[in-house]
Amino acid sequence: MLQETITGDQSARSWADYVVPQCWESFTVDDHAVWDLLFARQVELLGTRVVSAFLDGIDLLKLSHPGVPDVEGLNAILEPRTGWRTVAVAGLVPDDVFFAMLSERVFPVGNFIRTREQLDYLEAPDCFHDMFGHIPMLAHHDYAEMTRHVGELGVAAIVAGEGHRAARLYWHSVEFGLAKEHGELKILGAGLASSFGESHLSLESDEVERLPFSVRRAVNTPYKHDAFQPRYLVSQSLEKTIAGMLALTAEELLQL
Ligand SMILES: [Fe+2]
């Protein structure tokens, strides 16, 4: 996930400085049980309320295998497929680092999992949010390329002092986007796909706004990073959003 405010030193800093060993063997029996509990609960909750590419990705990447996935095992399937790989990080990374990773087809995943006592409350995205929410879609070739492109846009926007534009674009699609599929409203974003509380709310609540997605609207719509979203942007289709995002240049992003 991203933070709305771009802060910190934007000088030359390598994303590799933020990579840590996953230390998969350090996950306890209870950590693995928490993953299994979250996985079973979320798959049942989502059913077919999520874009089909997400469910395809779960199968392709064998994420239903019990226990916290190990980064190397995941990469052994993901990297030959779309060129993406995951790396472990200790927590939220700064936006410039995050976008630089995406631009090189690297996705950071937390090297920790929430506790059983905090199943539905997260201060920082853990490996369940990152691996269950994000990684399945990175097995989809065009979506994977779109995500890389968003990384490039993010790097350029931050250099121009306009990082919030890319952050909003990312937020309203990759993180909290909805999408139509065969006329039905589906979850697209990882923040929704991995959330027990917000997945149904985003689709079914009468209390939230749902507006058609466009890159212009996404870039100009602020978001909340510490609460359920008051509004969601709905893609006409996954394919149209991918095409629209891939067509967006960094120069255009700064003008929208
Ligand atoms: Fe996320």
Q: What are all long-range contacts of 204-211, with beta carbons under 8 Å and residues at least 24 apart?
A: 208/232, 210/178, 210/185, 210/234
Answer yes or no: 164 catalytic.
no
Which of the residues 164, 175, 181, 235 is marked catalytic? 175
- Of 254, 149, 232, the C-alpha closest to 188 is 232
242 neighbors 142 (Cβ within 8 angstroms): yes
What global pTM score does this model have?
A: 0.93
- Of 174, 171, 170, the C-alpha closest to 154 is 170
Reported as type and span, the H/E element at residue 219 is helix 215-219
Answer yes or no: 129 catalytic.
yes
Ligand 1 centroid–CA 9 distance in Å is 22
Answer yes or no: 194 catalytic.
yes
Cβ contacts of residue 144 below 8 Å, gap of 6+? 82, 83, 84, 105, 137, 138
Answer yes or no: 123 catalytic.
no
Determine the Cα–Cα distance for residues 8 and 175; give it in Å rounded to an integer: 23
Which of the residues 173, 194, 214, 235 is marked catalytic? 194
Ligand 1 centroid–CA 52 distance in Å is 19
Ligand 1 centroid–CA 255 distance in Å is 26
pLDDT per residue of the chain (256 residues) written in tens, 0 to 9: 554 444 445 445 699 999 999 999 999 999 999 999 999 999 999 999 999 999 999 999 999 999 999 999 999 999 999 999 999 999 999 999 999 999 999 999 999 999 999 888 777 899 999 999 999 999 999 999 999 999 999 999 999 999 999 999 999 999 999 999 999 999 999 999 999 999 999 999 999 999 999 999 999 999 988 888 899 999 999 999 999 999 999 999 999 9
